[in-house]
């Protein structure tokens, strides 16, 4: 006979199997052998070195500013209940089962949040302990505070989603983000001064977490929204894979009186040819879509942060790898355009498509390559390397873009 506990365990195991199958489609033996294992070994080597010598860039970052890393970490993720569409009629009639599923899901959420927070702090431990000189007691109290913050924000964001609509929801979320940012900034100052206020704030945040947990466990009438949240979390990585696969997904048509960019719709290229037209169409379609630009900037920021933790010579190596990485990423935007119903209506020569694709990939990847190159130059001060490698890198970028098109 099925019980609430067995139902939860079944959903839990099924979800992990599903996520594992998605990862297997991405990390095959080739990717593992040539990318995951080498970069994993490089990270372990770099991490060990951090305990002896911290990256020089941290000398310019005060402790309270460094603590801002906890904001995006705490803001990420949300609380989910393992419910699906097929459960609607059944759970509407059995409120006890819904309450039990919520409790089991909350225990799971607290456990995963604690594990993720511990791993995050394990990575940052050399910076906190060696560079900023935190004692073991302060380090673990800060970990506990970050854990409370992550749980509180995960539940608070969901309560805001359930309670408010549109502009009010944006304003309330912005207020919560600003409040926690100020909280961490003040907490950093309190830790440095070894003030009593740090302990008071930690206890306050713990009490806030307990209050929000109790509020969420007693919240009723949210089954349909819980199903939507669970589906979104479950398919989040699958949606990224669809982007990687270059699959076209029909999007809702949003009519604007004026676009965000290129409002006058002027031509980018003076010479009007089918090839220039395709390149221009790709650039405008990509830049006008907010989700594309947000994803591009997020990846660029993450890669820039990733570069900053490695020693000088490795920064240039990873900058070279970024050329391949960003060209492969922007290729998704090209595939999305070329496979769209609108472009598919036109019969264009293969040579025109290939030339337009190569130029589009090169142009779209170029801003990221320039930004990362500036980051590397400013961090390493290797001007000779810059004079040699930067022009060479841009030439290689153009060749790689052409090769991506030829062998795709």
Write the pLDDT tens digit of every residue in 87-106. Answer: 777 777 777 888 898 999 99
Q: Per-residue pLDDT for 254 more than 50?
A: no
58 or 124, greater pLDDT: 124
| pLDDT at res. 376 | 84
Q: What pLDDT, on a 0 to 100 scale, did the predictor assign at position 213?
A: 94
Look at residue 253 in the predicted model and tell me its pLDDT: 44
Q: Which of 45-49, 90-94, 158-162, 240-244 has the highest mean pLDDT?
A: 158-162
Q: Helix crossing, 274-288 with 312-338: angle to 10°? A: 110
In a 3-state reduction of DSSP, which class is residue 272? coil
- Give me the pLDDT at residue 255, please: 44
For residues 172 and 164, the answer to whether their CB atoms sit within 8 Å is: yes
More confident residue, 179 or 383: 179
* pTM as predicted: 0.68
What value does the mean pLDDT of the chain take? 81
Phi, psi values for residue 177, rounded to 5°: -65, -45
User: Maximum CA pair distance of the chain?
Assistant: 73
Calculated CA dihedral for residues 149, 178, 184, 310, nearest 10 degrees? 90
Q: Are 301 and 382 in contact (CB under 8 A)?
A: no
Band (pLDDT 50/70/90 cuts) for residue 110 is very high
Give the residue with greater pLDDT, 129 vs 86: 129
Mean pLDDT of 338-343: 78
Packing angle of the helix pair 223-234, 136-163 (nearest 10 deg): 120
pLDDT tier for residue 237 given thresholds of 50, 70 and 90: low
pLDDT (0 to 100) of residue 350: 81
User: Residues 286-303: what's their mean pLDDT?
Assistant: 82
Residue 161 and residue 86 in contact, taking contact as beta carbons nearer than 8 Å: no
Least reliable range by pLDDT among 82-86, 173-177, 247-251: 247-251
How far is residue 110's CA from residue 328's CA, in Å, rounded to a whole number? Answer: 37
pLDDT above 50 for 246: no
Residue 173 clears pLDDT 80, i.e. is over it: yes
Domains of the chain by residue range: 4-240, 246-406
Q: Quick one: DSSP state of residue 268?
A: S
- Model confidence at 202, pLDDT cuts 50, 70, 90, reads confident
Confidence label for 114 from pLDDT (cuts 50, 70 and 90): very high
User: Do you know the residue count of the chain?
Assistant: 408
| pLDDT surpassing 90 at residue 167 | no
CA-to-CA dists, residue 132 to 64, 69, 84, 192, angstroms: 10, 15, 46, 9
**pLDDT for 107:** 94
């Amino acid at each position: 006979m099925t019980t609430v506990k067995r139902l939860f365990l079944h959903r839990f195991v099924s979800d992990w199997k599903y996520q594992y199958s998605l990862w297997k489609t991405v990390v095959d033996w080739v990717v593992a052998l040539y990318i995951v294992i080498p970069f994993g070994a490089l990270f372990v080597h770099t991490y060990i070195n951090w305990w002896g010598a911290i990256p020089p860039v941290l000398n310019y970052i005060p402790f309270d500013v460094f603590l801002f890393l906890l904001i995006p970490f705490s803001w990420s993720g949300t609380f989910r209940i393992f419910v699906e569409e097929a459960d609607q009629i059944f759970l509407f009639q059995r409120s006890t089962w819904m309450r039990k599923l919520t409790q089991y899901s909350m225990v799971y959420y607290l456990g995963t949040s604690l594990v993720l927070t511990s791993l995050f702090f394990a990575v940052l431990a050399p910076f906190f302990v060696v560079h900023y000189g935190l004692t073991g007691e302060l380090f673990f109290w800060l970990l506990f505070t970050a854990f409370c913050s992550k749980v509180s924000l995960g539940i608070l964001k969901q309560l805001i989603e359930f309670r408010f609509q549109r502009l009010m929801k944006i304003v309330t979320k912005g207020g919560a983000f600003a409040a926690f940012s100020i909280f961490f900034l003040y907490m950093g100052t309190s830790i440095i001064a070894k003030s009593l206020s740090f302990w008071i704030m930690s206890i306050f945040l713990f009490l806030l977490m307990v209050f929000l947990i109790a509020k969420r466990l007693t919240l009723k009438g949210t089954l349909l929204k819980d199903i939507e949240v669970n589906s979104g979390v479950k398919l989040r990585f699958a949606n990224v894979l669809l982007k990687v696969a270059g699959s076209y997904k029909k999007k809702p048509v949003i009519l604007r009186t004026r676009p965000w960019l290129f409002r006058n719709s002027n031509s980018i290229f003076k010479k009007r040819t089918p090839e220039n037209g395709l390149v221009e169409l790709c650039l405008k379609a990509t830049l006008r879509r907010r989700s594309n630009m947000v994803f591009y900037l997020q990846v660029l920021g993450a890669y820039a942060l990733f570069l900053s933790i490695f020693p000088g010579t490795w920064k240039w190596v990873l900058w070279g790898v970024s050329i391949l990485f960003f060209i492969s990423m922007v290729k998704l935007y090209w595939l999305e355009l070329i496979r769209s119903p609108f472009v598919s209506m036109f019969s264009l020569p293969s040579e025109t498509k290939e030339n337009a694709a190569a130029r589009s990939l090169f142009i779209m990847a170029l801003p990221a390559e320039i930004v990362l190159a500036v980051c590397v130059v400013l961090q390493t001060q290797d001007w000779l390397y810059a004079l040699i490698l930067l022009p060479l890198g841009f030439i290689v970028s153009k060749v790689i873009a052409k090769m991506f098109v030829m062998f795709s």
